[in-house]
Amino acid sequence: MENAADGSRRSPSLRLLCPKKSILSSPLPSLLWLVGSPRFLQPVTVAAALRCLRFLSDDGPFSPDLPHEADEIRGLLVRGFDIVGGLFVGSANFESDASRPLELAGELRQRLFGERASHGMVGGCVDASTGDIRFLVSESEGSEVVEGQEVLWGDEPGRSLLEKGCLLRCELQLQLPLYLPSDETMSGIEARFSSLIESTAANLRGPHVSYLVEGPTATFDESHHSVILHGNNLNSVSQLPINTNTNKCSAKIVSCSEFLPTKRHDLSSIRENADAIQITVLSNQSLNISKAGSTVPMLKYFPAPAPASLRVIDLKLDILCYSSMDLPVAVAVSELVIPGLADQLSIMKKAIVSELLTQQPQLCPYHFVPPGLLIPLTAIYDTRYGEIEEKQSELRRNLHFRLGLPLDRPLLRTSNALTFGAMEMRDRSSSKSSSLLRDVHKEIPSSGVSGGIMSLIDGSYEYYHYLHDGIDDNGWGCAYRSLQTIMSWYRLQQYSSINVPSHREIQQVLVEIGDKDPSFIGSREWIGAIELSFVLDKLLGASCKIINVRSGDELPEKCRELAIHFETQGTPVMIGGGVLAYTLLGVDYNEASGDCAFLILDPHYTGGDDLKKIVNGGWCAWKKSVDSKGRSFFLKDKFYNLLLPQRPNMV
């Protein structure tokens, strides 16, 4: 701990990158495991909080089932991140309960990594009555525990993680032969399988194994774009110096930064296009060839016990690691990648062992950075029966609980997993919607409603308007554009992975369900709220509510109902009346005075995607039913239909 100017020891500061609301929103009482990266981030830094789910007794958070917690968190936590503390939420004994979660976190970490923590640890509790948070910090195992002097909540925390660190990814397909004697007992079979997995993990550092390290994008300096590291040379690399001049150093000393583009991307883009150093495992089977240099293929015979049957165990390993940019890549492979592969082998062994004699699970790891979290996490799914299988849904639900994610949206489905590859290739092959403006309403002025309560769309959307995609739909396509904006909301909230449909594809759906004649395809006929509901139901399985209003003058009477919609569902609303259609993104409503305004996203805009022009031109703006000059925005002599898409309740 730092010394003050007078020679006394200062209480340590604590930096939290995870949002404060993610801690305070946990149910009462609960225990949170605090996650950081003490090797790569400044101590003591908390990057995420995981909820404890397994307990031994009715004491709840005071008696966690540490063996089960360790088993589940081992597969979830990316190597490079570590348990750095624990926190009680809803403590009744605010003064005495802060040290207990620190002790529990130390025990959990020992189960995860086989040793006590040498880095600083933090414990704390949240007062059940006031919500106040108290933290205690220890510099290392056995050191003095003192109260944190300063708690710093991170500013742009996602950038902090990306500027200091990078991701490494390693995939490995394995086919392991398991010979089963006919008279073998189940315990004997399990022992054989365990021995097979352990020997496979040990061979990751063997003389026959090499690691090809490549960057995610091509660089001008091809000499440092890829290196090969040999497994038996990785046992003593932890003391390698930090790379300062890679042109004069061996491959082992090349730092991770040499493999990544200079331009880094923000957290939102990482969720869509993840940059990661790629690690490929190579097996050199000709290493022990004769000294004569013969290139004749060699065949080895391994007799199996007879009589015996052969089962081939197919495994697909896929791990992520988090490392500092200046760490030598050989150290990253030795101390992060290889232990990560061994951990995943052990996890898969436990999942497979009970089904060795039946149908083998098809285990597949996926990596996620769900909204609200800053660090990548890994989930291993059994893909035998698809995502709708009940056990799979229950697994995702438990993960949502552990990560503090909402239970009404599918944030951890396979379609939401991180994708990896060259940014340039992804940009060329990305969907047409990737170039559209998002969330344009965030730049507009206030509504002008005095004392109103604002209720807005929950989540992101893309702005579709006339003349997009080279389609001249001026005068007839406003409802199509509103539907496309609504579809983009479902896609960006990860309820769907299908592309936003074109006008022709929308028309095709309406013909397929029998709502329109075949001549409708390719026409310029208008559609309304009813047709939009049919398309949403067909393509997404999303239900809709429809509100009928006899006149534009009556729309303010629906503000309370619309406010409830935005607060509970949060989806964009389509307003159709006469020959016009708009997208509604929110309402500002003063219940006492009746004053209200509607946040309108206008699809009739025909210009380019210039945010300033769109905002200044009022194409996304607050509109009152009657403005200060007495002009009505909604038509008095036209009826209106309001389409309220519903948020699916699923994980």
Gap between the Cα atoms of 540 and 40, Å rounded: 43
Q: Considering 97, 131, 155, which residue would you say is the last residue of a domain?
A: 155
Gap between the Cα atoms of 434 and 322, Å rounded: 28
Residue from 82, 97, 275, 602 carrying the catalytic annotation: 602
Q: Clarify whether residues 33 and 180 are in a common domain.
A: no
Q: Clarify whether residues 34 and 127 are in a common domain.
A: yes
| Residue pLDDT, tens place only, 209-249 | 999 999 875 444 444 578 899 888 887 665 555 444 444 44
CB 422 within 8 A of CB 217: yes
Q: Clarify whether residues 117 and 29 are in a common domain.
A: yes
Q: What one-character-per-residue DSSP string does 531-575 give?
A: HHHHHHHHHH---EEEEEESSGGGGGGGHHHHHHHHHHT---EEE
414 phi-psi bin (left φ>0, alpha ψ -120 to 50, beta other): alpha
The domain that holds 19 is classified in CATH as: 3.40.140.10
Q: Considering 416, 448, 472, which residue would you say is the last residue of a domain?
A: 416
Quickly count helices (H) and strands (E) in the chain: 15, 23
Structural domain contains residue 650: no
Q: Clarify whether residues 522 and 588 are in a common domain.
A: yes
What's the structural domain count of the chain? 3
Structural domain contains residue 264: yes
Q: Clarify whether residues 67 and 170 are in a common domain.
A: no
Confidence at residue 223, expressed as pLDDT on a 0 to 100 scale: 45
Structural domain contains residue 568: yes
Q: Clarify whether residues 598 and 484 are in a common domain.
A: yes
CB 82 within 8 A of CB 73: no
Q: Clarify whether residues 136 and 173 are in a common domain.
A: no
Instruction: Tell me which of 9-13, 61-65, 150-154, 289-293 is least confident.
Output: 289-293
In sequence order, the β-bridge partners of residue 323 are: 166
Structural domain contains residue 554: yes
Given a cut of 60, whether residue 4 has pLDDT beyond it is no
Gap between the Cα atoms of 544 and 643, Å rounded: 7
Length of the chain: 651
Confidence at residue 263, expressed as pLDDT on a 0 to 100 scale: 60
65 belongs to the catalytic site: no
Given a cut of 60, whether residue 427 has pLDDT beyond it is no
Phi, psi of 395 (to 5 degrees): -60, -45
Phi, psi of 435 (to 5 degrees): -90, 0
Instruction: Using a pLDDT cut of 70, give the percent of the chain over it.
Output: 83
Structural domain contains residue 50: yes
Q: Clarify whether residues 487 and 584 are in a common domain.
A: yes
| Residue pLDDT, tens place only, 245-268 | 444 445 667 888 888 876 655 555
Gap between the Cα atoms of 97 and 91, Å rounded: 7
Residue from 125, 478, 596, 620 carrying the catalytic annotation: 478
* Radius of gyration for the alpha carbons in the chain, expressed in angstroms and rounded: 29
Confidence at residue 252, expressed as pLDDT on a 0 to 100 scale: 62
DSSP state at residue 358: S
Amino acid making up residue 476: W
Given a cut of 90, whether residue 349 has pLDDT beyond it is yes
CB 39 within 8 A of CB 47: no
| Residue pLDDT, tens place only, 352-406 | 988 887 778 899 999 999 888 889 999 999 988 776 677 788 899 999 999 999 8
Q: Clarify whether residues 330 and 473 are in a common domain.
A: no
| Residue pLDDT, tens place only, 69-113 | 999 999 999 999 999 999 998 877 766 777 889 999 999 999 999
602 belongs to the catalytic site: yes
Q: What one-character-per-residue DSSP string does 405-474 give?
A: --SSS-TTSGGGS--BS-HHHHHHHS-GGGGS-B-GGGGS-----TT-EEEE--S--B---TTGGG---T
Q: Clarify whether residues 393 and 463 are in a common domain.
A: no
Residue from 364, 458, 604, 609 carrying the catalytic annotation: 604
Q: Clarify whether residues 216 and 84 are in a common domain.
A: no
Q: What's the half-sphere exposure (Cβ side, CA atoms, 13 Å) at 228?
A: 8
Given a cut of 80, whether residue 351 has pLDDT beyond it is yes
Assigned token pair, 100: 């207990």
Confidence at residue 429, expressed as pLDDT on a 0 to 100 scale: 37
Average pLDDT over all residues of the chain: 84
| Residue pLDDT, tens place only, 296-348 | 666 666 666 667 788 889 999 999 999 998 899 999 999 999 999 999 999 99
Local structure of 303: helix, strand or coil: coil
Query: Helices marked H in 96-177 — which ranges?
Result: 99-113, 157-164
Amino acid making up residue 337: V
| Residue pLDDT, tens place only, 473-487 | 999 999 999 999 999
Confidence at residue 13, expressed as pLDDT on a 0 to 100 scale: 75
The domain that holds 534 is classified in CATH as: 3.90.70.130
Gap between the Cα atoms of 136 and 93, Å rounded: 15
Structural domain contains residue 651: no
Phi, psi of 606 (to 5 degrees): -115, 5
Structural domain contains residue 92: yes
Q: In 194-205, which positions are buried (b, 16+ CB within 10 angstroms) versus exposed (e)?
A: eebbeebbeebb
478 belongs to the catalytic site: yes
First-to-last C-alpha distance (Å) of the chain: 44
List the domain range (segments joined by +) for residue 376. Answer: 165-236+254-284+305-416
Tell me if the bond preceding 151 is cis, omega within 30° of 0.
no
pLDDT band at 637 (very low <50, low <70, confident <90, very high): confident
pLDDT band at 1 (very low <50, low <70, confident <90, very high): very low
Given a cut of 60, whether residue 12 has pLDDT beyond it is yes
Say which residue, 318 or 127, is predicted with more confidence: 318
Q: What is the dihedral of CA 613, 619, 622, 625, to 10 degrees?
A: 140
Average pLDDT score over residue span 189-196:
91
Assigned token pair, 20: 């404060």
Q: Clarify whether residues 260 and 203 are in a common domain.
A: yes
Alpha-carbon distances, residue 192 vs 184, 341, 348, 360, 411 (angstroms): 10, 20, 15, 16, 38
Confidence at residue 371, expressed as pLDDT on a 0 to 100 scale: 80
Structural domain contains residue 296: no
| Residue pLDDT, tens place only, 39-57 | 998 878 899 999 999 998 7
Confidence at residue 150, expressed as pLDDT on a 0 to 100 scale: 67
Confidence at residue 566, expressed as pLDDT on a 0 to 100 scale: 95
